[in-house]
Amino acid sequence: MSELTSWELRRSRFNHDWLGNHFLNTFDAFLQRLEGGGEDVASLERFIRHDFAQWPGKEAEVGELLNAFMQEMSPRALLAKEPLVRLDPGTRTWLGSVVDELWRARHSVTVALSSARGKLEAASQQYRAISKELDEDPIDAETLRRLLSHFRKFECCCRLLKDAMSEFPREVLVV
Separation between Cα atoms, residue 174 and residue 76, nearest integer Å: 9
| Percentage of the chain lying above the pLDDT 70 cut | 96
Q: How large is the average pLDDT for residues 33-57?
A: 90
Q: How large is the average pLDDT for residues 108-126?
A: 96
pLDDT at 36 over 90: no
Long-range contacts from 139-144, C-beta under 8 angstroms, 24+ separation: 139/41, 139/44, 139/45, 139/48, 139/49, 140/41, 141/34, 141/39, 141/41, 141/44, 144/34, 144/44, 144/48
- Please state the domain extents for the chain: 6-166
